[in-house]
Structure 1
Amino acid sequence: MGGTRGRRRQAVAAAETRPPRERYRAQVREEAKQHARQQIATAGASALSLNAIAKQMGMSGPALYRYFANRDELITELITDAYRSLADTFRARAETGPDLAGLAHALRDWALADPQRYLLIYGTPVPGYHAPADTTRITQEIMGHILDACAAGDPPAEPPSPLAAHLADHRAWAGDHPASPAALRRALAFWTRLHGVLSLELAGHFTGMGLDVAELYADEVLAVGQAGLS
């Protein structure tokens, strides 16, 4: 946690040393992003409008376009901020050591704290929008923390399953992480099963079912910890 706070202090210090024009530009962009988040929470990312944001800020549309070239640039900023926030959350949790259950519950806490931020990166894609490749570095960091935790609980060698054999030859998504096929399988279970529960929960699909989603999620976390063991 101290590392995250240190990075924030460094960012604040760097901002304070910027020339006034750069500081003003950063302030306008941040205010625009705040209004954009409110729009997304109300009507979804596909309804995002720079002209509407400019009106809320007391600016003309063309004036705001000096700060964001188009809607896609603004969405990219929001997506990048969301990925960085999750990466910071995982990094802070990982500072206490590799803990798959700890990461899993940190993920749910992060998602519930701001559902629209979660849905922006893991929900329905925004029509006509294509995320830039430079978000790959951040997503690889996020996956790296998951792989570290999965590899820490690696089981003894076992007869390879068809999926394990497949993952041994198809591991580009894991970057250069040396995780075994069993750990890769566990990381994929983390990614698919936990995101599946979260996506259904945040979209309201458990409403009226009369179950405690926290209990369902906790059970899935236990199951993920066993993935690759049988």
Structure 2
Amino acid sequence: MAQAARTPRERYRDQIRTEVKALAREQIATAGASALSLNAIAKQMGMSGPALYRYFAGRDELITELISDAYRSLADAFRAAEADGADLPRLARTLRRWALDDPQRYFLIYGTPVPGYQAPPDTTAIAAEIMAALLDTCARQPARPGPGAGSPLDPHLARHRDWAGDHPAEPAVLRLALLAWTRLHGVLSLELAGQFNGMGFDPEVLFEAELAALTVLPDC
């Protein structure tokens, strides 16, 4: 069934919203998400503050849009990698390239929460797609021999697996996904925050070392 053509008014509204989000991203890149101001954006666009509120009900709605866009961008990047049969190293490098392309976009979803902002529940639906891609990729990792005993993480994962949604992952897959997610984000967050500056080594080397350690973990 053909989609109904949008009216000129609808197209204009979409154009304004796109421009607002672009300016918001510039603000965030300069001063961080906590400094986001719709009135400042309105001034840049030659509009009054109240006029801009016809396109976004407030700061929180704009932040939600930016967060959803960021999650969608990463989910699309993961989906493209999966389509090419990505293993864990390739998926991890996809995450790093995505983060380095736009650090503020990364920090918007994986950095310090914006003061006073509470994301609506449906925002996490896209985030679940990202975790599902990670779990699928970890499930395809070659099996490794191990001691046979469960990890100390297992009881915790059994009680708290909401982050995995309804994915039918085995304990070893859950462990590998959780360890990969926390270790790689740890390195990335420090790198993007400039914490390795002046330490005399390439953060990519550390990222690759963590990735190598993950792919040889026994019975993960």
TM bracket (short chain):
over 0.9
**Does the 8 Å contact 1:206/1:213 carry over to 2?**
yes
Deviations 1:61-85 (A, max 9, x none): 0000000011010000000000000
Corresponding residue for residue 190 of structure 1:
180
Alpha-carbon separation, structure 1, partners of 2:58 and 2:205: 43
Corresponding residue for residue 190 of structure 2:
200
Alpha-carbon separation, structure 1, partners of 2:130 and 2:218: 21
Aligned residues: 217
**Does the 8 Å contact 1:186/1:228 carry over to 2?**
no
In the TM superposition, what is the alpha-carbon distance from 1:228 to its structure 2 partner?
5.6
Secondary structure of the residue that 1:128 maps to in structure 2? Answer: coil
Letter in 2 for 1:107: L
Q: 5 Å matches for 1:81-230?
A: 81-153=69-141, 154-155=143-144, 158-227=148-217, 229=219
Query: Normalized against structure 1, the TM-score is what?
Result: 0.90
Segments of structure 1 that go 5 or more residues without pairing to the other structure are 1-12
Alpha-carbon separation, structure 1, partners of 2:164 and 2:216: 20
Corresponding residue for residue 31 of structure 1:
19
**Does the 8 Å contact 2:145/2:218 carry over to 1?**
no
In the TM superposition, what is the alpha-carbon distance from 1:229 to its structure 2 partner?
2.4
Runs of 4+ aligned residues of structure 1 deviating over 3 Å after TM superposition are 154-157
Deviations 1:149-205 (A, max 9, x none): 111124467211221233234322211111111110110111110000010011110
Corresponding residue for residue 6 of structure 1:
none
Letter in 1 for 2:45: M
Alpha-carbon separation, structure 2, partners of 1:50 and 1:172: 35
Query: Normalized against structure 2, the TM-score is what?
Result: 0.94
RMSD: 1.7
Secondary structure of the residue that 1:165 maps to in structure 2? Answer: helix
Alpha-carbon separation, structure 2, partners of 1:155 and 1:144: 22
Secondary structure of the residue that 1:205 maps to in structure 2? Answer: coil
Alpha-carbon separation, structure 2, partners of 1:89 and 1:33: 20
Considering fraction of residues, name the structure with more helix.
1
